[in-house]
Amino acid sequence: MFVCELTQDIKTLTGVGKKTREDYGNLGVSTIGDLISMTPKGYEDRSHRVCIGHQNDSDGTWTNTFVRAESVSEFGPGRKNVKIIVRDTENNQKAFLMGFNRTFLAKSVFPGCYYHLYANVVPYGTGLTSSQFELKPVREDSILLSNVGDLELNQGILPVYSLSGGLTQKTIRRDVKAALALAQGIDDELPQSLIAKYKLISLDQALREIHFPTSEKALKEARRALAFREVFYLQLETKRRPPVERKRKAIENRVYAAETRFVESLPFELTDDQKKVLSEIRQDMSGPESMNRLLQGDVGSGKTLVAWVSALHAICNGAQVAFMAPTELLARQHAQVADALFRDCGVTVAFLNGEVHGRPRQALLDQLKAGNIDLLIGTHALFSKDVVYRNLRYVIIDEQHRFGVEQRQALLEKGIEPDVLLMTATPIPRTLALTVFGNLNVSTIRTMPKGRLPIITYLVDDSKRDRMYQAVGVEMQRGHQAYFVYPRIDDEGNSDLRDVQTMYEFLSTQKYPSFKGALIHSRLPEEDKIAILNDFAAGKINYLVSTSVVEVGIDVPNATCMVVEHSENFGLSALHQLRGRVGRSSLQSWCFLAFEKNITEDGKKRLSVLHRTNDGFEIAEEDLKIRGPGELSGLRQSGFMHLKYADLEKDVSMMSTARDEVDSILAKDPGLISLDNAVIRKVLSLQK
């Protein structure tokens, strides 16, 4: 049996009733096979004893030990909270367990009894405390036990799943266990030759180990086997997917007068790279297959401008064009720019967002359907159900890593095999681009527009902070503008992160009383944000204090200073994006990355990359290498693809191995008719 053939309904499992089935449904699980195909999002290691006080909290290791309860008391309003003092039976360490709203604990935990404790214990004041804990009696008669230390503590490594509705880890573990017991002898999905060559464990074993690992090592092997199978089929699919053949008329590869006039009317000349990309796009658009092109180029390299010229090119050919931006703010900014740019070209530009309702929306949609709108700009609202195009033939997607695959698909289905241009400033490292994309062409803008001076980046510690404020003040005196970016909105009292609110007050009263500043953050109403950004763009505001809403795409060439506080809390790519908000004209620009005293070595290393280079590609490659905590490159969440087991960053070499294998198999046996490859054919036919 293949996993996908395990179609028995989960309601046949003991304990799975109507409600549970519904909750599983929300996770996309309805069959035994689905249940087995779930991936744990993490694990609890309960395989060995970790005494209270011995855990290493920085990496989230949990205490797993035996304790004796010393006292149990209720506290707080309504006596809703329970405090339990426990002592480790091995090292005698004491911990306070705080059960907030867990009144039942008072009735089920008794002083003097012994318990198995699995908890996240953290230092608090001079003691140790935990509010996330599980306490289970060692035995009914545990009070009589003299030496619990003899008891076996190994509960193994337990899976942790994403939950939905009333599902608990306990329920899912029970059901997955039952499903695995039902599904004996799951068939492998890879040719035996590959399994042998790469020493992969069997799929049957891998699936058992991924849910209930017998050891760390076994878990690693299971993940490797599953990841290999996953990337193998991914590569196979990309290789076998035929390009979309164009049934409709292609867009002619010739430059119309309107396009030439438009380019000539720009206050600058296109860079060589821009010209090259434009000709690549025109070439693609006139070909027998629909264009599917990724345009990558550093922030400020002029991608959006290329998009406008290419849009005009398509419009001259009678096409309708949709331009999709990742945020409302950007969509609006783009719409404003496009409106101004195209005013004299006879191009009708419209802006659509989810907020437009009722009659205005209907009027706009009617115009669109009638073909009276040439260029529609918006967020994902562009592909809402009621949006009908007359002749959508070109789709431009800005900062495409923020879009999911499905959304992209939905938009594509609105057109007639439209040409698609994806734009991204988060460059995909070459190694990845090669492996990930099959029939996607990549254009790259490498050079910045002429006259741009490289941004000077300073790393700023406390001793230099005042000089930084001074330097920014001087720039504003010269009539230039500045951004101050902070990681969060307000200080919740438990951290010393500089937050926008207090920093705005500090800057406006202490540092820059004679300049006009404005505060902008994601909780502000959209209208207010736009008004502020417009004022900033118009030069009515000298400096903007913000959370990272300015991260993508905002274009104010007169801004020359970017100050990022707590820069150690941002990923490399995010910082690079932020820095790209300045250096957008021939003015010298500066980026100040301020960090705190407690910065880690790793954090310093990351910042130094930005100090050293302005090259987004190099930064992306570094991002791959130095894998600090948190989301670094944004690739994983990219929506390029949804991988369950493989890691886009860690498994790059596995991906190229799989690709090579796929190539060699398809070269030798394109029909997949050999005995060894029969399994592939079968899996592919089942997927349909």
Shortest Cβ 633–ligand ADP spacing (Å)? 18
**297: contact with ligand ADP by CB under 6 A:** yes
Q: Which of residues 198-217 bind ligand ADP (CB under 6 A)?
A: none
**473: contact with ligand ADP by CB under 6 A:** no
Tokens matching residue 292? 């599917």
Q: CB atoms < 10 A from the CB of 672, how many?
A: 19
In contact, 292 and 420? CB cutoff 8 Å: yes
CA 552 centroid distance within chain: 14
**560: contact with ligand ADP by CB under 6 A:** no
**268: contact with ligand ADP by CB under 6 A:** yes
Q: Which of residues 564-603 bind ligand ADP (CB under 6 A)?
A: 584
**274: contact with ligand ADP by CB under 6 A:** yes
Shortest Cβ 582–ligand ADP spacing (Å)? 11
Q: Which of residues 410-429 bind ligand ADP (CB under 6 A)?
A: 425
- Partner whose binding site includes residue 305, from Mg ion, ligand ADP, none (CB under 5 to 8 Å by kind): ligand ADP
**231: contact with ligand ADP by CB under 6 A:** no
The CA R_g of the chain, rounded to the nearest whole Å, is: 29
Shortest Cβ 446–ligand ADP spacing (Å)? 12
Which residue among 300, 378, 517, 603 contacts ligand ADP (CB under 6 A)? 300
Shortest Cβ 271–ligand ADP spacing (Å)? 5
- Closer by beta carbon to ligand ADP, 418 or else 449: 449
How would DSSP label each residue in 288-321?
Answer: SB--EEEEEE-TTSSHHHHHHHHHHHHHHTT-EE
**Contacts from 241-244 at CB under 8 Å and sequence distance 24+?**
241/438, 241/439, 243/289, 243/290, 243/292, 243/439, 244/289, 244/290, 244/292, 244/417
Shortest Cβ 480–ligand ADP spacing (Å)? 15
- Closer by beta carbon to ligand ADP, 337 or else 666: 337
Q: Is 565 helix (H, G, I), strand (E, B) or coil?
A: coil
**235: contact with ligand ADP by CB under 6 A:** no
In the block, residue with structure tokens 């991914």: 234
Shortest Cβ 307–ligand ADP spacing (Å)? 8
Pick from 374, 329, 332, 372: which is nearest to 352 by CA? 332
Shortest Cβ 319–ligand ADP spacing (Å)? 21
Which letter does DSSP use for residue 114 in this model? E
CA 382 centroid distance within chain: 22
Shortest Cβ 668–ligand ADP spacing (Å)? 43
- Closer by beta carbon to ligand ADP, 423 or else 544: 423
- Closer by beta carbon to Mg ion, 159 or else 553: 553
**615: contact with ligand ADP by CB under 6 A:** no
Beta strands 543-546 and 481-485: pairing type? parallel
In contact, 42 and 18? CB cutoff 8 Å: no
Longest dimension (CA), the chain: 95
320 strand-pairing partners? 392
Which residue among 20, 31, 271, 435 contacts ligand ADP (CB under 6 A)? 271
Which residue among 303, 380, 402, 581 contacts ligand ADP (CB under 6 A)? 303
Provide CB contacts within 8 A for 326, sequence distance 6+.
379, 398, 399, 402, 403, 552, 553
- Partner whose binding site includes residue 634, from ligand ADP, Mg ion, none (CB under 5 to 8 Å by kind): none
Tokens matching residue 327? 């945020």
* Closest residue to Mg ion in the complex (CB): 304
- Closer by beta carbon to Mg ion, 116 or else 334: 334
Size of residue set near ligand ADP by CB under 6 A: 17
Shortest Cβ 326–Mg ion spacing (Å)? 10
In contact, 268 and 396? CB cutoff 8 Å: no
- Partner whose binding site includes residue 426, from Mg ion, ligand ADP, none (CB under 5 to 8 Å by kind): none
Q: Is 652 helix (H, G, I), strand (E, B) or coil?
A: helix
Side-chain-side CA neighbours of 479 within 13 Å: the count stands at 3
- Closer by beta carbon to Mg ion, 517 or else 553: 553
Q: How far apart are CA 167 and CA 161, in angstroms?
A: 10
Shortest Cβ 629–ligand ADP spacing (Å)? 28
Shortest Cβ 366–ligand ADP spacing (Å)? 32
- Closer by beta carbon to Mg ion, 317 or else 426: 426
43 strand-pairing partners? 159
Stretch that binds ligand ADP, among 58-66, 167-175, 264-272, 477-485 (CB under 6 A): 264-272
- Partner whose binding site includes residue 548, from ligand ADP, Mg ion, none (CB under 5 to 8 Å by kind): none
Shortest Cβ 424–Mg ion spacing (Å)? 10
Helix boundaries (H) for 447-600: 465-477, 500-506, 526-537, 572-579
Residues that bind Mg ion (CB under 5 A): 304, 553
CA 117 centroid distance within chain: 35
In the block, residue with structure tokens 């249940």: 35
- Partner whose binding site includes residue 408, from Mg ion, ligand ADP, none (CB under 5 to 8 Å by kind): none
Which residue among 5, 74, 289, 555 contacts ligand ADP (CB under 6 A)? 555
Beta strands 114-124 and 63-75: pairing type? antiparallel
Q: Could you list the residues that contact ligand ADP (CB under 6 A)?
A: 268, 270-271, 274, 297, 299-305, 425, 449, 555, 557, 584
